[in-house]
Amino acid sequence: MIRLEHLVKKFGPRTAVDDISFDVEKGTVLGFLGPNGAGKTTTIRMIAGYLQPTEGSITVNGVDVVNHPTAAQKHIGYMPENTPLYDDMTVWSFLTFIAEVRGYTGAARRQRVDEVIEACMLRPVRHQPIDTLSKGYRQRTCFAQALLHNPSILLLDEPTEGLDPNQKKVVRDMISDMAKDKIIMLSTHVLEEVEAICSRVMIISEGRIKADSTPRALRKRSSLYNTLTIEVLAPADKAVAAFQAIQDVKEVVRLSGDEQKQTLRLYPRDHQPLAVSAIDVAHRNKWMVTDLRSDQGRLDDVFRQVTTTDDVIRKSA
Ligand SMILES: Nc1ncnc2c1ncn2[C@@H]1O[C@H](COP(=O)(O)OP(=O)(O)O)[C@@H](O)[C@H]1O
Ligand SMILES: [Mg+2]
């Protein structure tokens, strides 16, 4: 497990990480989400043992990272933001070299390199020099490097940055497949990534934790959660009045429309679902419903809310 206690990092007068504390348990895929400059990379580098905190402590599986970085790094696989790769080496020779650095020799080394080549789907390019690889294969070579010593903790700094949608999917699937018996912590500013693979999400802004929750619970904080958008053949004023009269409707907003057709957004009271009662109202008025959508809430909405205000969202909230 990872434990951070009152972690602070200052660069001169600038505070990049401002008193962060949290625990992460096995089986968690933690998405570290935040705008550029929020302090994601700085935090990850400190956990990885490559940067000294100004204050605070970090332990991984009980090992103190600050005082015993080498011992801690045996538990950690780290994929930096811009991985330095040895461009003129082939994938196979690079990974063999890393395996050697990690203490593997002989048959065990060959076997381990084969395993990560398999796991990261690098077989077709294993004898290719790294500088001739596509971005997707390059990224997976970095990933393989981080996996070599089979660490129980993986720290991935923007693992899908710069990949096309297909390549992103491959990397995300690999991360999900590995999640069960590891801790995976990844930074991203891509909201859909968090939705796709993370079981826990932390929003960080200006070096502080602004939200710590599940993607689903966080989406429910969106002002659009369980709003109903209905397109109905009806006159505007009558439709607005009729839907407004539904008990669970807090507010009706007319999004667009003309004399015959209206698109309305119905905001619920207390997150109550509105579809059934809205259809019933339309039916009783003999208005045809041409479209109906219930909104699941949007992370970008919540992201904006917590990174631009003083709100803090905790799991219990
Ligand atoms: N080596 C450094 N020297 C000075 N300032 C730094 C250094 N590394 C990061 N910073 C500053 O710390 C803040 C957080 O940066 P970073 O952790 O890279 O953010 P993120 O990864 O969330 O984009 C930024 O303001 C950045 O300019
Ligand atoms: Mg970064």
Per-residue pLDDT of the chain (317 residues; tens, 9 = 90+): 999 999 999 999 999 999 999 999 999 999 999 989 999 999 999 999 999 999 999 999 999 999 999 999 999 999 998 777 788 899 999 999 999 999 999 999 999 999 999 999 999 999 999 999 998 899 899 999 999 999 999 999 999 988 888 888 988 999 998 888 899 999 998 888 898 899 999 999 999 999 999 999 998 888 899 999 999 999 999 999 999 999 999 999 999 999 999 999 999 998 899 999 999 999 999 999 999 999 998 888 888 888 887 777 776 44
List the structure tokens of 127.
Answer: 């004898």
pLDDT of residue 190: 82
- Could you tell me where the DSSP H helices lie in 134-268? 135-147, 165-178, 191-197, 215-219, 236-244
CA of 18 to the centre of ligand 1 (A): 12
Q: For ligand 1, say whether the CB of 188 is within 6 Å of any of its atoms.
A: no
Yes or no: say if 171 and 1 are a contact pair by the CB < 8 Å rule: no
Yes or no: say if 128 and 153 are a contact pair by the CB < 8 Å rule: no
- Atom number in ligand 1 closest to CA 36: 23
For ligand 1, mutation pick of 42, 156, 189 (most atoms within 8 Å of CB)? 42
Residue span(s) of the chain under CATH 3.30.70.250 come to 228-294
CA of 15 to the centre of ligand 1 (A): 9
Among 8, 184, 207, 187, smallest CA distance to 82 is for 187
Q: For ligand 1, say whether the CB of 16 is within 6 Å of any of its atoms.
A: yes
Yes or no: say if 210 and 22 are a contact pair by the CB < 8 Å rule: no
Q: In this structure, which residue's CA is closest to atom 12 in ligand 1?
A: 16
Name the pTM for this structure: 0.87
The fold of 2-219 is Rossmann fold (3.40.50)
Q: In this structure, which residue's CA is closest to atom 25 in ligand 1?
A: 37
For domain 228-294, give the CATH number: 3.30.70.250
Residue span(s) of the chain under CATH 3.40.50.300 come to 2-219
